[in-house]
Every structure is written in C-alpha cells, then in structure tokens.
Amino acid sequence: MPGKAFAILTILASCAVARAWSQIAFVTNERGNLDIAVASDDGRSYTMLTTSNDHEAAPAWAPDGASLTYTANSHGNIDIYRMAADAGSVVQLTESPDQDAESSWSPDGSRIAFSSDRTGTRDVWVMSADGGDVRQLTTHAAIDWCPTWSPDGSEIAFTSTRGGVESVMVMGADGSDLRFLAGAPYSCADPAWSPNGRWIAFRGAADANHEVCVVSAEGGPVSNISAHPAGDHEPAWSPNGAEIAFTSDRDGDMAIYVMNATGNGTARRMTPEGIVAWAPTWAGGPEPFAIQARDRHVTTWGAIRAR
C-alpha cells in the first residue's frame, strides 16, 4: 500500500484547529457479555451505559449527542435500539426477525442508515429516527454493510464485497450514483468521513496487517497513517477533525487509541489496561453533558478534550 501522501497530510494538518469537548463511547466485554461504555475525561476510567445480560454493541451517537443507537440481541436476534443519553430511556427501532446492525445517523438527525439481511443478503437500508419509513438502498448479491453518512448528508459510504474483496464504496443518500473508492487489490472496510467531508478514513490491509488509512472522498492515493505492525481498525474522527480514535491490539489486548489525524506523533491509549475495548464512536459538543446508564444513576463526567 502506498506510503503517506504529502499533499493529503498537509491538508489534513490544516484541520487541527481549536480543540472541542467530546466523549468516546465503545464496546467492552468486561462483564462477560458485550456492553457499551463511555470513557472519562482522561481516558483511563469509564462508565457503563448498558448493564443488562444482553449483548449490546455497535454504538453510534446522534448528531446532537442527546442519544445514541446500538445493537442488542434482547429478543433472540440482533435489532437496533435508541437510548437517550440524558435519561437512559430505551426504544427498539427495528423488529425484523433477521439481523439489523451498524447504524449511522444522518447529519440532521432525521434518518438512520443501517445494514440488514432481511431480504436474504446483507444490504444497506435507511429508516427515520423513530424507526419508521424503512427503505432498502442497495440490492446487490454481494454483502454491503457498515454505512456512514457524509457530513452534508448527500452521500453514504459503506463496505462491500462486490469487488471480490472488502472495498469502500460511496453512493448518493438515495442509493444512486454508486462509485468505488478504495479496495482491490487491498482489503478495505470500516469507512468514516472526516468532519469537513473531504476525507474518508478506513481500515486497509495490503497483507495480514490492518492499518488506519485515509483517502480523498473523491478518490485518489491512499495514505497509511497508523503504520504500525499491530492490527489497527475501526477509525472514528474527532468532532473537529484533528484526531482519529481507532481500535488496536498493539499493547497485547484490544483497546481504543487516539492519534493525530495526520498520523504524526505517538498514538495514546484511551481505555484502561485490563479491559478489552473496541468500536469507538466520538460524540461532539461544546460542553460536557450528563448520561444516565441503564439501571444506573445519573452521572456527570468531564469530557474527553482532544489534545
């Protein structure tokens, strides 16, 4: 895979403006099943958002930070749920007997893209924020999953196997104008748009090693920005575009790390040692806000400041 592209890194560096307050939610199996937690201000402590005996995973913050969606197997199959961040109330959004997963909010908070195999093959679907008006966007025989909205709401990037290997594709928000972005001969997945909409980070693998890579949203050369012998994947941009959170096993166990969006400097671990953590999702906002975990009391934490 090509090395760091100087032009890409130069423009990315221009995104490193004033830091914003934000929080990172992630998945952990600390209690023996999958739960969702949120990291504290220093990244070395965390608070559980879910504490049931179900498997809860794939968190995705709403644009306003007031709620988040996630998947759970509460009824024997995987469905998408919405949890209020300030009150902890939970609403089931999908009730298909098949598997619904990997939700992503539109920038205006009105719609949610997700993947589902309800027609026999995993495709990208979209629904309103209350779970209604469900529509299928992709209809290919290959597997399409992991959708993510562009910041202006006009496009959706997703992972697909239609090229014979995991690839990053982009389409219009209505499913039109499909185009290839990154993939063969490399395996590419887990796309994430930069806040300014100019770049897409993803997990790329030229061999058995996974890296966090960046490519222009219009296509072009791929830049490997994590460049580490460990496996790095599931990138998530900070709200101001200055940093990228990602999952890595570089310390021997799966954990959440944060690095400069240019790839320069040293990545710092944001989840404590002793727990397994993955699937980071970064919520933005000008001030810290309170979250009440399910079956827990209201707790207010300092937020993660992108340093």
* pLDDT tens for each residue of the chain, 307 residues long: 444 442 433 333 333 333 334 689 999 998 889 999 998 656 767 888 998 889 999 999 999 999 999 999 988 899 999 998 865 789 999 998 999 999 999 999 999 999 999 999 999 999 999 999 999 999 999 999 999 999 999 999 999 999 889 999 999 999 999 999 999 888 999 999 999 999 999 999 877 789 999 999 999 999 999 999 999 999 999 999 999 999 999 999 999 999 999 999 999 999 988 899 999 999 864 333 333 333 332 222 222 223 2
Q: Is position 207 within any domain?
A: yes
Would you state the pLDDT for residue 86?
A: 65
The count of other CB atoms within 10 Å of the CB of residue 117 is 16
CATH, residue 97: 2.120.10.30
Would you state the pLDDT for residue 303?
A: 27
Measure Cα distances from 163 to 160, 179, 212, 287 in Å. 7, 11, 20, 43
Q: How far apart are the first and last CA of the chain?
A: 29
Q: Is position 72 within any domain?
A: yes
- The count of structural domains within the chain is 1
Domain around 104: 6-305
Would you state the pLDDT for residue 163?
A: 83
Q: Is position 227 within any domain?
A: yes
Residue 22 near residue 303, CB atoms below 8 Å: yes
246 forms beta bridges with: 257
Would you state the pLDDT for residue 41?
A: 59
Q: Is position 200 within any domain?
A: yes
**Element spanning 204, H or E:** strand 199-205
Would you state the pLDDT for residue 116?
A: 97
Residue 98 near residue 92, CB atoms below 8 Å: no
Q: Is position 246 within any domain?
A: yes
Would you state the pLDDT for residue 285?
A: 46
Q: Is position 1 within any domain?
A: no
Residue 202 near residue 190, CB atoms below 8 Å: yes
Would you state the pLDDT for residue 260?
A: 96
Would you state the pLDDT for residue 22?
A: 67
Main-chain phi, psi angles of 98, to 5 degrees:
-95, -170
Q: Is position 87 within any domain?
A: yes
Measure Cα distances from 124 to 95, 158, 219, 226 in Å. 16, 8, 21, 28
